[in-house]
Amino acid sequence: MTATRIDGKAFAARLRERVGAYAAGFEKSVGRKAGLAVVLVGEDAASQVYVGAKGKATLAANMASFEHRLPSDTTSEALMALVEQLNNDDSVDGILVQLPLPDHLDEQSIIAAISPDKDVDGFHVINAGRLSVGQTGFVPCTPLGCMMLLTDRLGDLSGLEAVVIGRSNIVGKPMAQLLLDANATVTIAHSRTNDLASVVRRADIVVAAVGRPQMIGKDWLKDGATVIDVGINRLPPEPGKEKGKLVGDVAFDEASEVAGAITPVPGGVGPMTIAVLLRNTLVAAHRNAGLEAPADL
């Protein structure tokens, strides 16, 4: 048996194409572009790459991109003032403060200052609460992207047993809630779960978000399971090479011998994150304009 490869890159491209078409329609009907503001504090190299990619993707999707790059010694008061300015700017529909922030800034306080209705990252406690009680809000981009891939692959998830490995506020917890809302039976497992392998082995759906390279092998998986690998880890470089190979939390080749379907790393979950960010921004724009967002976003 060889697992079907779940092509997140292709799915994300189709989603971005829909977002771009709907964004053009939004601009015609409202008279302005949907707008995403991204705030970067400091010189973190990876964050600079992410912010640049998000800006390019926003422009490519027919939306306005507002980048605010601040020095690493920016005070909490100055950052809070910028967030408040963006909250009150009608041309800005979504606000994203790139994490991690420098150590002297409190991430939770900054996220809490963002208007929940512009919190397109879905990190605000109000949006977390809305998700937990089934109200409309914004869901973090990575788990929502995982959910899109799962429903595209499996359709109705009712009654399926799902195991989410990892309990972070950004992926694990919202992922579990989304699966519950889809009527799956959900277990959240983590580093202190007793006999973790046997817990994972009973799952029809495995979402791996634990941050340990290739931890999950074929002996952890039920035959035919659908595996969503959120992990992205870089192995030590081989002799003569500058960078090590990027791998997920799942040993892809051997897991593919058992799984029914699996996301690769890279090219699986990763491309979905920016695509869903654009989707969330366009949904926010429709809500802010008093319009119904398209059903297939």
Catalytic residue set: 54, 98, 121
In whole angstroms, how large is the CA radius of gyration of the chain? Answer: 19
Residue 239: burial class (beta carbons within 10 Å; 0-12, 13-18, 19+): exposed
Question: b vs e for 175-201, b when ≥16 Cβ sit within 10 Å of the residue's Cβ?
Answer: bbbbbeebebbbbbbeeebeebeeebb
Residue of 136, 152, 144, 88 whose CA lies nearest to 114: 88
Q: Using DSSP, how many helices (H) and how many strands (E) does the chain show?
A: 10, 11
Taking the C-alpha atoms of 232, 97, 143 and 167 in order, what is their torsion angle to the nearest 10 degrees? 70
With a CB cutoff of 8 Å and minimum separation 6, the contacts of 28 are none
Measured distance CA(294)–CA(82) in Å, rounded: 31
Give SS3 for 258. Answer: coil
38 φ/ψ angles, rounded to the nearest 5 degrees: -115, 130
